[in-house]
Amino acid sequence: MDREQVLVTGADGFIGSHLTEALLAAGYRVRALSYYNSFNSWGWLEQISDPNLEVVSGDVRDPDFCRHITRGCTMVFHLAALIAIPYSYVAPDSYVDTNIRGTLNMLQAARDCNVRRIIVTSTSEVYGTAQYVPIDESHPRQPQSPYSATKIGADALAKSFYNAFDTPVVIARPFNTYGPRQSARAIIPTIISQIAAGQKEIKVGDLTPTRDFNFVTDTAAGFIALATAPGIEGMEINIATGKEVTMEHTLHTIARLMGADITWVTDPERLRPSKSEVRRLLGDNTLITSLTQWRPEVSLEQGLQRTIDWFVKPENLACYKTDIYNR
């Protein structure tokens, strides 16, 4: 059977590598973009071996390269981005280049190459602290960090290409995704990795905010559902569980599942500026569940256990510097 060719940018990252696996399992041929580097490292794609996977190295900041890798693909999943919020405070210019200009380049490539659909990846951070819950797609945008500001800009560009050029854009807006391979800059892996490394005093930031946590395989399934649902071009669609939990409850659950006797220590370096902290996120998934067959399948406790099981393997834990805060 002749398999459909799709492109995934940011495929070497956390969500991108899981999406690549899911697409391969669903029968697609995947051209996976890994960020070019002199080590010829393909990130998390190094763990995937499949004859229908083509890995290319490059950078979405180059428009000619973006057109080159898009040719021959029927769909584009655009995930490439700088995503660490703390680093955006000290290097905002790089976020503009990658998140806004990189998205512009991919939108133009999708238009020039006549793809059937391009999925542009947004984030729940564009909503900022909830003004009302659950947060639906009409919730006001609040740029509370340079990162979220650039994602709001990228979303606006995507909408403009749909309105101005009829480019078949769908904006996927996943809420907080977690799971195996996630960077230790995020709260769940930083706690698990510290406990797995044998530390007794666990460094954390603010434990009072709430989040709507998606296990990564559910997020990947959401992307595929939005890529194949008919008649949703031009729409912005949440991928959310519709449940919220505090950071503190999440961390106590992790400690219980790991049988760890630890204490929490607030690390000032891990605290966001007061007006930048998103206090509450609880997503409304009514739209995606009405348009597709997608439903969240992995409970928080199940997902945390799967994440723990992955991190405690020595070969996986060795990939993390548990004594250094990754901004």
Other C-beta atoms closer than 10 Å to the C-beta of 153 total 19
Res. 1 pLDDT band, cuts 50 70 90: very low
* Cis geometry, peptide bond prior to residue 268 (ω within 30 degrees of 0): no
Which of 125, 177, 176 shows the shortest CA–CA distance to 152?
125
CB 31 within 8 A of CB 6: yes
This prediction has a pTM of 0.95
CA atoms within 13 A on the CB side of 29: 11
Q: Distance between CA 134 and CA 119 in Å, rounded?
A: 23
Measured in whole angstroms, the distance separating CA 189 from the mean position of its chain's CA atoms is 14
Distance from C-alpha of 40 to C-alpha of 37, rounded to nearest angstrom: 6
Q: Give the pLDDT confidence of 88-128 residue by residue, as tens digits.
A: 999 999 999 999 999 999 999 999 999 999 999 999 999 99
Do domains 5-177+214-239 and 180-211+243-284+299-317 share one topology? The answer is no
Tens digit of pLDDT for each residue in 233-247? 999 999 999 999 998
The pLDDT tens digits for 131-161 are 999 999 999 999 999 999 999 999 999 999 9
Q: Is the pLDDT of residue 270 over 90?
A: no
Per-residue pLDDT at 178 exceeds 80:
yes
Q: Give the span between the Cα atoms of 118 and 74, in whole angstroms.
A: 9
CATH of domain 180-211+243-284+299-317: 3.90.25.10
Going from N- to C-terminal start, the domains of the chain cover: 5-177+214-239, 180-211+243-284+299-317
Question: How do 213-215 and 176-178 pair as beta strands?
Answer: parallel
Q: For tokens 């067959």, name the residue.
A: 293
Domain 5-177+214-239 belongs in CATH node 3.30.479.10: no
Percent of the chain with pLDDT over 90: 84
Instruction: Write the CA distances from 150 to 141, 200, 232, integer angstroms.
Output: 12, 37, 24
Contacts of 39 (CB under 8 A, 6+ apart): none
